[in-house]
């Protein structure tokens, strides 16, 4: 997980004057530049001075994927979430719910996820298309119900 290896050297000022994360992805070795959102800055600040970050000189305590997923399972339980939360699911949520559903172009999402080919990211876009399809079916049903009640739509 690239996030576990982040250190102070990975934070730099970007083209917009804001803080950015600049890393080489472990899996693809591609260089990636990601603007740092305020919530991420808050998390970095939270773990500054943590005993494990001091020892490893990383921005976050270094834990295994297995341990991270175990913590996510605890969070799900406390929140009453029935799904088995995983780090991979978090990536999927970033790609679909957070970025693509909010109008972030697929090319940008592809860069954020570190995909070397956009076709990999297009798999996530298909999930969005399915959601659009479902939402439109709900709308269609509502319109049919309203139409049967003789509701007039003014144009």
Distance CA 74, CA 51 (A): 23
Is the per-residue pLDDT at 79 higher than 90?
yes
Is the per-residue pLDDT at 12 higher than 70?
yes
**Sign of the Cα pseudo-torsion (117, 120, 123, 125, in order):** negative
Distance CA 63, CA 48 (A): 16
Contact 68, 80 (CB under 8 A): no
Residue 127 has a pLDDT of 77
Residue 30 has a pLDDT of 80
CA angle 19, 57, 40 (to 5 degrees): 35
Could you tell me the residue ranges of all domains in the chain?
1-62, 83-148
Task: Dig out the tokens for 52 from the structure.
Answer: 């494990």
Q: What is the pLDDT of residues 16-65, one digit of tens each?
A: 999 999 998 887 788 888 899 999 999 999 999 899 999 999 999 998 98
Residue 152 has a pLDDT of 56
Task: Dig out the tokens for 62 from the structure.
Answer: 């270094």
Is the per-residue pLDDT at 84 higher than 80?
yes
Q: What is the pLDDT of residues 122-155, one digit of tens each?
A: 888 777 777 788 888 888 888 887 666 555 555 5
């Amino acid at each position: 997980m690239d996030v576990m290896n982040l250190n102070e050297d990975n934070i730099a000022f970007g083209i917009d004057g804001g803080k950015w994360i600049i890393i080489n992805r472990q899996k693809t070795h591609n260089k990636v530049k990601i603007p740092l959102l305020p919530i991420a800055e808050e998390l970095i600040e939270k773990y500054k001075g943590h005993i494990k970050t001091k020892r490893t000189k990383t921005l976050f305590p270094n834990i295994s994927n297995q341990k991270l997923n175990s913590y996510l399972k605890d969070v799900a339980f406390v929140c009453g979430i029935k799904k088995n939360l995983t780090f991979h699911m978090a990536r999927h949520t970033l790609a679909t719910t957070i970025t693509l559903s909010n109008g972030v172009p697929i090319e940008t999402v592809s860069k954020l996820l570190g995909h070397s080919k956009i076709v990999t990211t297009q798999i996530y876009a298909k999930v969005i298309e399915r959601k659009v399809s479902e939402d439109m079916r709900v709308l269609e049903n509502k319109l049919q119900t309203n139409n049967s009640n003789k509701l007039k739509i003014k144009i």
